[in-house]
């Protein structure tokens, strides 16, 4: 069993500091005990995380640590100066897993031993003064901090810090936290504003250390880390990296009007802005977070919650530039969007942030991992055309066991391993349920603890029962998020004094143990269309049911590809439970046809003609987007031309 002495087990990736000014606080010791996300986490625990060390070994990441620790000889392996982050993200995932296993009473021996072994390796690789980056230490590049644009040294530090915090919170042990603090302290002696006496006034072009330093402040109480985070956030946008949007340097965040540049970089930076707004009451950073989140949600997010419209530079595009087959939607960007959104949800108390988290989790994020946990997608397109020639490599639309740039798989592992921490919060006057999953969630009312159990088959079924397990004698408010997609619901059980406000269904009363509230969200399938400015999908509709976006796959439509498929938008949509398919899904049937496409000529354009050629009737079968690319290789599409 694990050694849990003096751990803060039950605390997740975000813990607010004592001075925090946030509407909501994460709850401690949430537990997901069954259902959809539980099943995904079992795969994560039994397949993904245990395979991590072997994959990190074969990709050379562990070799690189041994190399600079003087435990082996040879050359640096891999192509990037951020190879170490794959190790750190795995350590973070494994740490959250250890916390879960300990709470559930499972044996943690084997995983603990792997974490200990790799932690010792990380510690051995660290230099005397705290610096740690195997790329530069093994002689690649032009030396420490010579290349803040591509060097990723502080980005590496950020992931090390987050792993160390997870390890400390999960186990109470400090080996990794000591390593992370030494690196953070070293960074604090090197970086600072002009006139501070520190040699470098600059920032890493890949944000990540900022949000990590804010969390390190929360973990240690040392305010220097928070000050350093704020310095880095504000150092962006002043031209150190040529005012390039890619490097988050075009304008200061406080002046920015929209999200831009490299999507993951933008969103990690915004997560830090939200952290700083929470911890310091910085209103201009809070306003930037609200403003940029809205610009992203309203104009730069795909239906799946995925972000990043450009393969080139992994960037956000222009407003409404949301291509389907070239959607980038990096899996890491989905993770980053969820991390940013959760901090904004805590800061503001607004349900809409968790609306987008839900959409991203169930679609753009989850599609990144195969159903069996064995393979991954880096980019998550919304269409694969007939005749698509796949170039292979990291950006393939076919699942891959591991990537040359393996940022995404361990990012999925760490989010899944700590996922329960994004599901509920407390405002000190009750409990807010942000995401529906079976489990136990704790809140607080006037300093007294309370908890509820949740029972649901969401997202396959709309019914969620919440039972009060423990309650103080004074009244408190149970808040249930009514998702933005939901137009009808019924409420049963204890329903007096319920009202809906800004996406929250709030029930305030004096509760008794055993009181039950039953929320039933209508999951009738629906067709959605896009804002007319999204040129890429004009004239198309997509199928959704509850929080799930659906797609057509060629595997369900024999006799051709999908380029010629048209959906009858006025036709019925039928729901079918298919326990035999894709690990058990609900499919949606529709009617449509294959239109007669002209023989390919020398030129694919002709005088405009509004008449539609007749087609052959076709039964459409839509499957959840997150489950695509788990069968034979073939076409896929989310957006369907509509008749
Ligand atoms: Zn990635």
Distance 406 CA to ligand 1 centre (A): 7
The contacts of residue 54 (CB under 8 Å, 6+ apart) are none
247, 329, 332, 407: which is the annotated catalytic residue? 407
Distance 423 CA to ligand 1 centre (A): 23
Distance 314 CA to ligand 1 centre (A): 10
- Residue 225 — φ and ψ, nearest 5°? -65, -40
What pLDDT does 2 receive? 34
92, 153, 260, 314: which is the annotated catalytic residue? 314
End-to-end CA distance of the chain: 61
- Residue 349 — φ and ψ, nearest 5°? 75, 5
Distance set, CA 74 to CA 64, 103, 125, 172, 359 (Å) = 9, 42, 15, 36, 46
Structure tokens at 112: 């603990």
Within 104-222, residue ranges assigned H as helices are: 109-125, 134-137, 153-171, 175-190, 209-220
Are 508 and 448 in contact by the 8 Å Cβ rule? The answer is: no
Distance 136 CA to ligand 1 centre (A): 22
What pLDDT does 527 receive? 98
Structure tokens at 537: 């999908």
What pLDDT does 8 receive? 62
> What's the CA gap between 351 and 502, in Å, rounded?
7
Around 19, how many Cα atoms within 13 Å sit in the side-chain half-sphere? 14
Q: Over the stretch 82-106, which tens digit does the pLDDT of each residue have? A: 999 999 999 999 999 999 998 888 9
Is 314 annotated in the active site? yes
> What's the CA gap between 85 and 38, in Å, rounded?
26
What pLDDT does 37 receive? 98
Q: Over the stretch 603-633, which tens digit does the pLDDT of each residue have? A: 988 888 767 677 899 999 999 999 999 998 9
Structure tokens at 171: 């186990």
What pLDDT does 9 receive? 62
Distance 50 CA to ligand 1 centre (A): 20
Are 161 and 170 in contact by the 8 Å Cβ rule? The answer is: no
What pLDDT does 612 receive? 67
Structure tokens at 562: 């999908």
Which residue numbers in the chain have pLDDT < 50? 1-6
Distance 148 CA to ligand 1 centre (A): 20
3-class state of residue 430 by DSSP? strand
What pLDDT does 7 receive? 56
Is 48 annotated in the active site? no
Distance 331 CA to ligand 1 centre (A): 6
Q: Provide the 10 A C-beta neighbour count for residue 245.
A: 20
Record the pTM. Answer: 0.97
Entry field: residues in the chain: 643
Q: Is the dihedral of CA 367, 397, 326, 148 positive or negative?
A: positive
């Amino acid at each position: 069993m694990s050694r849990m002495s003096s751990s803060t087990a039950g605390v997740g990736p975000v813990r607010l500091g004592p001075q925090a000014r946030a509407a909501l606080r994460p709850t401690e010791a949430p537990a997901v005990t069954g259902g959809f996300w539980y099943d995904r986490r079992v795969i994560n625990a039994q397949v993904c995380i245990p395979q991590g060390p072997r994959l990190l070994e074969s990709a050379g990441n562990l070799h690189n640590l041994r190399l600079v620790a003087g435990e082996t000889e040879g050359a640096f392996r891999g192509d990037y100066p951020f190879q170490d982050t794959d190790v750190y993200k795995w350590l973070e995932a494994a740490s959250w897993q250890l916390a879960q296993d300990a709470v559930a009473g499972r044996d943690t021996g084997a995983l603990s031993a792997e974490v200990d072994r790799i932690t010792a390796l990380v510690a051995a690789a660290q230099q005397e003064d705290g610096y740690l980056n195997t790329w530069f230490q093994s002689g690649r590049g032009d030396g420490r901090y010579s290349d803040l644009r591509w060097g990723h040294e502080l980005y590496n530090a950020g992931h090390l810090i987050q792993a160390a915090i997870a390890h400390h919170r999960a186990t109470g042990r400090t080996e990794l936290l000591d390593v992370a603090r030494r690196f953070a302290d070293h960074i604090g002696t090197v970086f600072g504003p002009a006139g501070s006496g520190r040699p470098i006034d600059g920032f890493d072009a890949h944000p990540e250390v900022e949000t990590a330093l804010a969390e390190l402040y929360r973990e240690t109480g040392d305010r220097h880390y928070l000050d350093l985070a704020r310095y880095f956030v504000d150092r962006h946008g002043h031209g150190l990296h040529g005012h390039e949007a890619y490097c988050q340097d075009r304008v200061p965040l406080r002046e920015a009007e929209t999200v831009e540049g490299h999507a993951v970089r933008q969103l990690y930076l915004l997560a830090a802005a939200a952290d700083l707004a929470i911890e310091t009451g910085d209103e201009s950073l809070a306003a930037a977070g609200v403003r940029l989140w809205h610009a992203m949600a309203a104009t730069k997010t795909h239906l799946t919650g995925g972000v990043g419209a450009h393969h080139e530079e992994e960037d956000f595009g222009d407003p409404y530039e949301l291509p389907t087959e070239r959607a980038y939607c990096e899996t890491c960007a989905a993770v980053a969007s969820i991390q940013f959104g959760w901090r904004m949800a805590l800061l503001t108390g607004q349900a809409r942030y968790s609306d987008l988290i839900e959409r991203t989790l169930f679609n753009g994020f989850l599609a990144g991992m195969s159903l069996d946990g064995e393979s991954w997608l880096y980019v998550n397109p919304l269409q694969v055309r007939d005749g698509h020639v796949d170039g292979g490599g990291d950006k393939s639309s076919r699942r891959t066991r591991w990537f040359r740039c393996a940022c995404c798989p361990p990012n999925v592992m760490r989010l899944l391993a700590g996922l329960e921490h994004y599901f509920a919060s407390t405002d000190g006057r009750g409990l807010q349920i942000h995401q529906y999953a079976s489990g136990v969630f704790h809140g607080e009312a006037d300093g007294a603890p309370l908890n509820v159990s949740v029972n649901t088959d969401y997202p396959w079924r709309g019914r969620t029962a919440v039972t009060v397990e423990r309650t103080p004698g004074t009244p408190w408010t149970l808040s249930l998020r009514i998702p933005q997609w939901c137009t009808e619901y019924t409420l049963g059980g204890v329903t007096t004094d319920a009202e809906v406000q800004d996406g929250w269904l709030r029930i305030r009363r004096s509760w008794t143990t055993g009181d039950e509230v039953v929320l039933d969200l209508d999951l009738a399938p629906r067709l959605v269309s896009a804002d007319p400015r999204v040129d890429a999908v004009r004239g198309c509709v997509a199928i959704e049911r509850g929080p799930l976006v659906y797609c057509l796959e060629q595997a369900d439509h024999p006799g051709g590809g999908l380029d010629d498929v048209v959906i009858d938008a006025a036709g019925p949509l039928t729901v079918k439970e298919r326990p035999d398919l894709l690990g058990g899904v609900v499919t949606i049937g529709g009617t449509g046809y294959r239109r007669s496409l002209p023989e390919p000529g020398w030129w694919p354009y002709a005088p405009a003609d509004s008449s539609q050629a007749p087609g052959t009737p076709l039964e459409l079968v839509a499957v959840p987007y997150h489950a695509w690319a788990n069968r034979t290789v073939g076409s896929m599409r989310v957006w369907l031309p509509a008749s």
